[in-house]
Amino acid sequence: MLARAGLDRGAKGAAVMLMLAANAPDMDIVAGLTGALSYLDVHRGYTHALPFAPLAALVPLLAVKLITRTQITLGAYLGCLVAVLSHLLLDWTNVYGIRLLLPFSSKWFHLDSTDIVDPVILLILLSALAAPALVALVSSEIGSRKVGGPKRGWAWFALLTLTAYDAGRWVAHERALSVIDAHEYMGKPALKVYAFPARFSLFDWRGVVYGDGFVYELPVDLSKDLNAEAGQFSYPSGPSPDLDAARMTRPFQAFERFNQVPFWRLSPVVDAVKVELIDLRFGSPAHPGFEAVANVEHDGRVADARFTFGDPR
């Protein structure tokens, strides 16, 4: 869509170059070849950081030049940089987040307004991609002069619609947070609140409330008054030697660096204590998604420790 909107400037290979640039930050997915934990450590790291965006923009530029022998221009490079930045912008809006300030800061930035995969965004872009071909087909069927379809107009329509949609999701997210925070839980104000998106809906959100010694999950429907009694309480485990032992393992250390909404749970199993660390962005205590799990024996040794992406809700 960026290419069709005018960033390609009619240059040879520019559209391919821009498509590669818009996906260039995800070159870090190769870390997944060595396992889920390596992927968790690397993904949305340096290749997604603002200081490295100028370098990421060079990769598709050089790749297309190598194949097509086209001349590299400042305009082509700036177009690739815009495409890279569009990737970072979209990643910033969703619940997974992005480490924009590496290597100066490892802080995760996430607006929590869109899901990791948002079908509406894909539908907007795919519709604008198919529309010109459909217009050309209809024109030929009714005997009109054959045209290629108004690609630039549809591209601008897609980009503006996408911007409006993401802005609407952000406004709805902020509204959900304020609605959740306006209530008391167990007779006290919330210590911290989160709202996570539901696919296909601007109105439905999953609220997570941190209180004194508890976590409360509740559905939020912005088209109705909040029913603060419709949720479910969970009680995280406090500090313990078993928890400390699990935290010394690599899976837990890597997951703690990533986890933005943690929930710890300890439960006895045969000859050991099961330690779980759950990220409530991607699941709940009843149905964990992303989680680290360890079995700590009674003498304090960690029998095994692992991380899994699970089946996030």
Would the pLDDT of 150 be above 90? Answer: no
Average pLDDT, stretch 11-24? 87
Structure confidence by residue, pLDDT tens digits, 157-178? 999 999 999 999 999 999 999 9
The confidence score (pLDDT) of residue 299 equals 92
What is the edge-to-edge ordering of all strands in the sheet holding 215-221?
192-198, 201-210, 215-221, 232-234
Question: 42 lies in which domain range?
Answer: 3-93
Do residues 177 and 210 share a domain? yes
What is the rounded average pLDDT for all residues in the chain?
A: 91
Q: Are residues 64 and 89 in the same domain?
A: yes
Tell me: do 192 and 257 sit in the same domain: no
Binned at pLDDT 50, 70 and 90, residue 145 comes out as: low
The sign of the torsion formed by the CA atoms of 76, 83, 78, 167 equals positive
Report which of residues 312 and 91 the model is more confident about.
91
The answer to whether position 268 is within a domain reads: yes
Question: What is the pLDDT confidence band of residue 140, given thresholds at 50, 70 and 90?
Answer: low
CA distance 232 to 208: 10
Which is more confidently placed, 34 or 143? 34
pTM for the whole structure:
0.89
Diameter of the chain measured on Cα atoms: 83
pLDDT > 90 fraction of the chain, expressed in percent and rounded: 76
Both 88 and 149 in one domain: the answer is: no
Model pLDDT for residues 34-58, shown as the tens digit of each residue: 888 999 999 999 999 999 999 999 9
Q: Kindly state the average pLDDT of the residues 17-42.
A: 92
Report whether pLDDT(294) > 80: yes
**At which of 59, 77, 93 does a domain end?**
93
Q: Is the pLDDT of residue 262 over 80?
A: yes
Number of domains in the chain: 4
200 lies in some domain: yes
If we measure between CA atoms, which residue out of 108, 220, 118, 110 comes closest to residue 172?
A: 220
In-domain check, residue 104 = no
* DSSP-derived secondary structure for 257-309: HH-SSEEEEEEEETTEEEEEEEETTS--SSS--SEEEEEEETTS-EEEEEEE-
Is residue 110 situated within a structural domain? no
In a domain? residue 102? no
| 289 and 220 assigned to the same domain | no
Compare 231 and 69 and report the one with higher pLDDT: 231
What does the buried/exposed string (b/e) look like for 32-59 if buried means 16 or more CB atoms within 10 Å of the residue's CB?
eeeebbebbbbbbbebbbeebbeebbbb
What CA–CA distance (Å, rounded) separates 220 from 227? 8
The Cα–Cα gap between 159 and 110 comes to: 21
Q: What is the mean pLDDT of residues 104-115?
A: 96
Note whether 175 and 160 are same-domain residues.
no
For every residue of 226-242, which 3-state class applies, written as one string?
CCCCCCEEECCCCCCHH
Q: Identify whether 296 is part of a domain.
A: yes
User: What pLDDT sits at residue 55?
Assistant: 95
In a domain, 99, yes or no: no
